[in-house]
Copies of this chain bind each other. A is one copy, B any other.
Amino acid sequence: MTATLPEAQAHSVPPNPLEEYLALCKEACDGEITRLYGSADGPGTLRDLVLDYPRRGGKALRPALSIAMCLGLGGHLEAVLPTAATLELYHNAFLIHDDIEDESWWRRGKPTMHIAHGIPVAVNVGDAMLSLSLQPLLDNVERVGLGPALRILRAVAHMTRKTVEGQAIELDWVRANAWNLTDADYLTMVELKTSWYSFITPLQAGAIAAGAGPDRLTPLEVFGRHLGAAFQITDDLLNLRADPQAYGKEIGGDLWEGKRTLMLLHALRSAEPAERERGVQIMARRRPTADDELGLGELLDRLASRGELSRAGRDAIDELLRTQHIAPPKTLADIRWLFELMNRAGSLEHARDVAAHHAQQAAAALAELDWLPASRHRDALAALVDYVHGRTR
């Protein structure tokens, strides 16, 4: 049992203090996840798969928020670790199911769970991680006492409701091919989908684990909401341009997936009717699947050009595919065109401005927390605001 994080090691060249803080939190959280699940009962395959995404790296941002908040308020590390580990596990469960829902292929430098192991296994592994997370929250009764343990459970119940509601809104937008959405619509969705589980609840749960009263939770909600908005917009911007080695996700994946980002919505709202119509048509196209890699179309083209397939035969095959609603997928040219549309409309600058506004609001909300004493934990939270927003600079 440890009361706090170890002190940073002495270095000849001082590293970035935030990175060092995040690394310490990640180490503590990884240790807790191994303690909780590394020797779990059940088939080894399931245990390995549960630990797959958490072991792929990632910054462990959510555990760091919980730990910084708890230690910053004078709480003990062992009081918050099960909660921090649980939130990290929830995050990874959501990632596995999101990757299925978004048809993503790549996550932290490796194929996504459903690409590597199939959708059935990926659905069950995500369910396993959601299921496993309840036990440590119940064990909290012994760690932090009954009242705080129940308050953390209620916060997590609230968080999961918000998250699935946000996910449902985003899926609805893609399904309905909605485009006439405002910045406010986008921010409402992001608050539900991202801010609660990634920022607000980690901060609140850390504070509760330190014994903070209910009056502390509202200012933390404000802080987490703005931090979440700045984070998600920045993440969406990174998705358009970042180096996959550094970013760990697919480049432009959001455009292939038909995600409604602040930039894309701004570009469509700003576009001339004809361009908007083209953009909306592109968004309605499905993402290419592995089947599209078959090259069946190209082969049929070649056969037809060599006279080995009649014109009528080619037409019949195309007609069959068409009537079966096998619509053509998005192409790279489509994605480039959307990107150009956003560039011409100044949508990336607009998104950067909105992200900067929310980062400033988050910094201001943190500055107002006069009940959080100065410490390296508070410093880490302040540095996190800069980090979350500054990744595109």
Contact = CB atoms under 8 A, between A and B. Distances in A.
A32 interface: no
Interface in A261-314: 291, 294-296, 299-300, 303, 308-310, 312-313
Contacts of A100: 119-120, 123
A175 B291 CA distance: 21
A308 B299 contact: no
A165 interface: yes
A221 interface: no
| Most B-side CB within 10 Å, residue of A100, A131, A172, A312 | A131
A154 interface: yes
A45 interface: yes
Interface in A107-142: 118-121, 123-128, 130-132, 134-135, 138, 141
A337 to B, nearest CB: 25
A132 B120 contact: no
A197 to B, nearest CB: 10
Interface string A37-63: 000011101100000000000000000
B134 A156 contact: yes
A97 B120 CA distance: 8
A101 interface: yes
A372 interface: no
Given A134-B153, A157-B134, A168-B46, A175 B121 contact: yes
Contacts of A313: 303, 308-309
A8 interface: no
Interface stretch (A16-24, A201-209, A316-324, A343-351): A316-324
B165 A43 contact: yes
Contacts of A163: 131
A163 B45 CA distance: 15
A130 B167 CA distance: 14
A326 B165 CA distance: 37
Contacts of A369: none
A335 interface: no
Contacts of A150: 138, 141
B291 A291 contact: yes
B291 A167 contact: no
A138 B165 contact: no
B130 A101 contact: no
A119 B43 CA distance: 26
Contacts of A102: 120
A124 B294 contact: no
Contact of A45 (B123, B172, B312): B172
A35 interface: no
Contact of A165 (B46, B171, B303, B324): B46
A146 interface: yes
A128 B164 contact: yes
Given A43-B172, A138-B153, A299-B320, A164 B124 contact: yes
29 contacts: A41-B161, A42-B161, A45-B168, A46-B164, A46-B165, A46-B168, A97-B123, A97-B127, A101-B123, A121-B168, A126-B127, A127-B130, A128-B168, A130-B130, A130-B160, A132-B164, A134-B134, A134-B153, A134-B157, A134-B160, A138-B154, A146-B146, A294-B326, A296-B320, A300-B317, A303-B309, A308-B310, A308-B313, A309-B309
Interface of A: 41-43, 45-46, 97, 100-103, 118-121, 123-128, 130-132, 134-135, 138, 141, 146, 150, 153-154, 156-157, 160-161, 163-165, 167-169, 171-172, 175, 291, 294-296, 299-300, 303, 308-310, 312-313, 316-317, 320-321, 324, 326
A-B interface, 8 closest residue pairs, ranked by CB to CB distance from nearest: A131-B160, A101-B120, A308-B313, A128-B164, A308-B310, A42-B165, A46-B168, A134-B157
